Amino acid sequence: MNNSYSAMRIFITLFFAMCLRITPLSDTLAPLNPDWVLLVLIYWSLAIPESVGIAHAWFLGILVDVLLGRHFGQNAFIYSLVIYACLVWHKQLRQFPVVQQSAFIFLCLLFSQLLFFWFKNVHASVQITGIFWLPIFSGTVLWPFIYQLMRSIRRL
Amino acid sequence: MRLLIAIIASITLLITDYRSERLLPLRATLSVLTDSLKYAVDLPVSLFEKVSSELSSYDTLKKENTSLRQEQLINRTQLLKFDALEKENIRLRALLENSFKLGEQVLIAELLSINLVADEHIMVVNKGTRFGVHPQQPVLDVNGVVGQVFRALPFSSEIMLITDPNHAIPVQVNRNGLLTIAVGSGMSNQLNLPYLPNNADIRPGDLLITSGLGGVFPAGYPVGIVDDFPETNNKSIPHITATPKSLLDRKREVLIVWGSNALMPLTTPLSKTPADNEQ
């Protein structure tokens, strides 16, 4: 595959993922908005692990930190850990049927959300409600569709 | 190996960011990239609003104009009274050898319609440090207090709303001056008043205004109205809530306020007060 061509596609999909991350939704839908950037990043790390690595994940995480007004390094930390797991197991994961992949995605998202919860509590204990955990489920449910969409984008 | 570097780098960044403000320039630089994203996401909504306002008919404009004119007339007459009251207040405070906070400057900012984090009530406006916005500035709209500036970036700033579960604002009951603290509930139409004794004189419909304690919010701006709560005997404390006055999700324009930091002494200050010694 042409390298710069695929780099551009990675860039554009991540751009749209970041837009989706902050897109305005109604009060009922907003808590369901999953971590699009992480999902897209997971896809690319599974599809072309040779060109998407931990360094990319880390820099992207820093950007998302600024975008969402988090403390520096939160998303960078989480993204690099999750992408590391994806890179280690990408051969097995690519063989999995989509349902099993979704289970893996569920674990990734759960892990990232747990870390977020932990980061929130490091500085001062904060209140969270049940809706804090909703993006994990919406992300898992959306994964098959994201997977199909991204695959068709990759094969364009 | 790379993972280790990434983890160490992010933890170092995290610790520096928690401990100091040294990373603000880096954040400001990177925010130029992310702010363009924020504006890009906001573009469809603001374009739609612009187009619909362009397309609004002559009739509706005329109606709006007359109603605005009437409103202005009413406001003007009320302001006349307000002027006299302010002067009187200053005179009375001078009698009490009290200081008085004078004039506040405001800047109109527009909300960008984006959602950052669902469980936090943080909004983004289109004015930033370029306009002199700095953290902890109070933010108001025409109806009351909206929140405070949480972080100011060059082209945008993040505003924490008073309904955020991690936000608390010192308030007083307008009717009798009872002081308390209104804590955000995490719901966009509710504030909690958890720190009230069970014999507190508070009634449904009471107006809560900022008390000026704490130094962030200037005194006297409306915050919310106390909701109905069941009358109970003195043994149990009712869970008292209030509805914020500001229309947090409907208005696009907010006011960022510069309070005059220095108190204006109205009488010649005494040589040294105990408060001066403490500082």
Look at A19 and B188 and tell me if their CB atoms are within 8 Å: no
Go through B222-248 and write b for each residue having 16 or more CB atoms within 10 A of its CB, e for each that does not: bbbbbbeeeeeeeeeeeebbbebbbeb
- Write out the H or E segment, with its range, that includes residue A70: none
Q: How far is CA A111 from the centre of its chain?
A: 11
Cβ separation of A72 and B13 shorter than 8 Å? yes
Q: Residue B160 carries which side chain, given as an amino acid letter?
A: M
> Between chains, do B41 and A24 touch, taking CB under 8 Å as contact?
yes
Instruction: Classify the phi-psi angles of A53: left when phi > 0, otherwise alpha if psi is within -120 to 50, otherwise beta.
Output: beta
Containing A26, the helix (H) or strand (E) segment is none
Inter-chain residue contact B37 with A69, CB threshold 8 Å: no
For chain A, the structural domain boundaries read 3-154
What are the tokens at B183? 């804590």
Residues of B in contact with A74 (CB under 8 A): 10, 14
Contact A69 B150 (CB under 8 A): yes
In our burial notation (b when 16+ CB lie closer than 10 A, e otherwise), range A85-116 reads bbbeebeebeeeeeeebbebbbebbeebbebb
Structure tokens at B214: 């704490």
The answer, yes or no, to whether residue B278 has pLDDT greater than 80, is no
Contact flag B7-A80 (C-beta cutoff 8 Å): yes
pLDDT band at B98 (very low <50, low <70, confident <90, very high): low
> Which residue do the tokens 């406001």 mark?
B75
The letter for the amino acid at B176 is N
pLDDT score recorded for residue B80? 84
Contact by Cβ (8 Å): B278, B131: no
Q: Name every chain A residue with its beta carbon within 8 A of the beta carbon of B166.
A: 126-127
Q: Which residue of A has its CA nearest to B2?
A: A54
Using the beta-carbon criterion (under 8 Å), do B30 and A63 form an inter-chain contact? Answer: yes
State pLDDT tens for residues A41-91. 999 998 888 888 888 899 999 999 888 888 888 889 999 999 999 888 888
Give per-residue pLDDT as tens, B123-160. 888 888 888 888 888 888 888 888 999 888 888 899 99
CB contact under 8 A, A81 and B11: no
Q: What is the mean pLDDT of residues B181-194?
A: 86
- Flag whether residue B33 sits within 8 Å of chain A, measured between CB atoms: yes
* A28 close to B (CB below 8 A): no
The answer to whether residues A55 and A29 touch, using CB atoms and an 8 Å cutoff, is: no
DSSP string over A100-140: HHHHHHHHHHHHHHHHHHHHHHHHS-----GGGGHHHHHHH
Beta strand pairing call for B222-226 and B168-173: unpaired
Output DSSP code: residue A30: G
- Asked if the C-beta of A12 comes within 8 angstroms of chain B's C-beta atoms, the answer is no
> Could you tell me if B41 lies within 8 Å of chain A, comparing CB atoms?
yes
Counting residues of chain B whose pLDDT is more than 90, the rounded percentage is 9
Residue B112: closest C-alpha in chain A: A24
- B180-205: string of b/e by CB count within 10 Å (b at 16+)? bbbbbbbeebebbbeebeeeeebeee
Question: Averaged over A130-142, what is the pLDDT?
Answer: 87
Identify the closest residue of chain A to B37 by CA–CA distance. A19
For residue B15, which amino acid is it? I
Q: Which of A126, A131, A132 sits opposite B166 (nearest CB)?
A: A126
pLDDT classification of A2: cutoffs 50, 70, 90: low
- The C-alpha of B210 sits at a distance from chain A's nearest C-alpha, in angstroms, of 24
Rounded to a whole number of angstroms, the distance from the CA of A69 to the nearest CA of chain B is 8
CB–CB contact B40 A19 (8 Å): yes
CA nearest to A83 within chain B: B3
More confident residue, A117 or A128: A117
Tell me which DSSP letter residue A85 carries. H
Read off the pLDDT of residues B7-19 as tens digits, 9 standing for 90 and up.
888 888 888 888 8
Q: pLDDT at position B270, please?
A: 47
Architecture of domain A3-154 in this structure: Orthogonal Bundle (1.10)
CB contact under 8 A, B115 and A63: no
Rounded to whole angstroms, the Cα distance separating B207 from A54 reads 54
B163 and B184 Cβ atoms separated by less than 8 Å: yes
What is the SS3 assignment for chain B?
CHHHHHHHHHHHHHHHHHHCCCCHHHHHHHHHHHHHHHHHHHHHHHHHHHHHHHHCCHHHHHHHHHHHHHHHHHHHHHHHHHHHHHHHHHHHHHHCCCEECCCCEEEEEEEECCCCCCCCCEEEECCCHHHCCCCCCEEECCCCEEEEEEEECCCCEEEEECCCCCCEEEEEECCCCCEEEEEECCCCCCEECCCCCCCCCCCCCCEEEECCCCCCCCCCCEEEEECCCCCCCCCCCCCCEEEECCCCCCCCEEEEEECCCCCEECCCCCCCCHHHHHC
Report how many helices (DSSP H) and strands (DSSP E) chain A contains, helices first. Answer: 6, 0
